[in-house]
Structure 1
Amino acid sequence: MRIDKYLWCIRYYKTRSLATTACKKGHVRVNNEIVKPSRDVYPQDQIDLRKDQINYKLIVNDIPESRVGAKLVDIYRTDKTPKEQFEAQELLKYSKDYYRKKGAGRPTKKDRRDIDDYTDEPSDTEL
């Protein structure tokens, strides 16, 4: 089975075209070699995959016939990803908490004053 189809079947990518794009960009390695999307995978191959700033390490157990349900994914792969990768992702989430949420709109007066105090630039009213 092709590597892009395999990654789609075991639900690492939502669409097969996303899996193909990741292979073309060099985010997927099989047995420590950067691969094209058409590369075949076989049982016992080791896949290194970079997605969402996490380096996944997978071992192919079996090849699925088609896309499988989320509960059945563990039959077809063994996940050897270190726990530190996921912990680093959690820390990244916490570091972004102070930013405004997308779609929150324009800054309030208080936000504007805080920004001006931080940047030490005079606001329009002080001129």
Structure 2
Amino acid sequence: MSSVRVDSWVWGVRLAKTRSQATSACRAGHVRINDQTAKAAQSVKLGDVVKVRLHGFDKIYRVTGLPTKRGSAVEAAKHFEDLTPPPLPREERPSEIYRDRGAGRPTKRERRDIDRLRGRDSATGVEFGDDEDL
């Protein structure tokens, strides 16, 4: 067998739970073969690059085998090579600042501390109360 339907391949390598979900993903445009949108009946061959959008993330796979039926996860892993790049590191942000409910409005000092924690220091360096400019 030199090729297999793309929806059958997506189902066979366990990227979709059912064959109908794989077909729906193809119809919705979530499956691409060699950077072209794939229809469910389009054939996939050894060496093709298949991009699948799963749970909001794009996954990239190279076809290394053509399963005829759905097998175990270990068996399915033999039919593709994962080419997905690693995710970008998360930005380091200061922890969110929470106030107890019903604690009232923050004082001026607390607001300045909050701004300092969030990285919003005053750029001018002028503090309130400096009357030299008046």
TM-score by length of 2: 0.62
Is 1:67 the counterpart of 2:70? The answer is: yes
**Which protein has the larger Cα radius of gyration, Structure 1 or Structure 2?**
2
Give the letter for the 2:72 counterpart: G
Structure 1: 5+ residue stretches without partners: 92-113, 118-127
| Structure 1 consecutive aligned stretches of length 4 or more whose deviation exceeds 2 Å | none
C-alpha separation in 2, matches of 1:74 and 1:21: 23
1:42 correspondence with 2:45: yes
The match for 1:8 among 6, 11, 26 is 11
RMSD: 2.2
- Matching residue of 1:96: none
Which blocks of at least 5 consecutive residues in structure 2 are unaligned? Answer: 92-100, 105-134
> Is 1:51 aligned to residue 54 of structure 2?
yes
> Sequence identity of aligned pairs in percent?
31
The number of residue pairs the alignment matches comes to: 92
Counterpart check, 1:23 vs 2:26:
yes
Give the equivalent residue in structure 2 for 1:32. Answer: 35
- Does residue 79 (structure 1) correspond to residue 82 (structure 2)? The answer is yes
Higher helix share goes to which structure?
A: 1
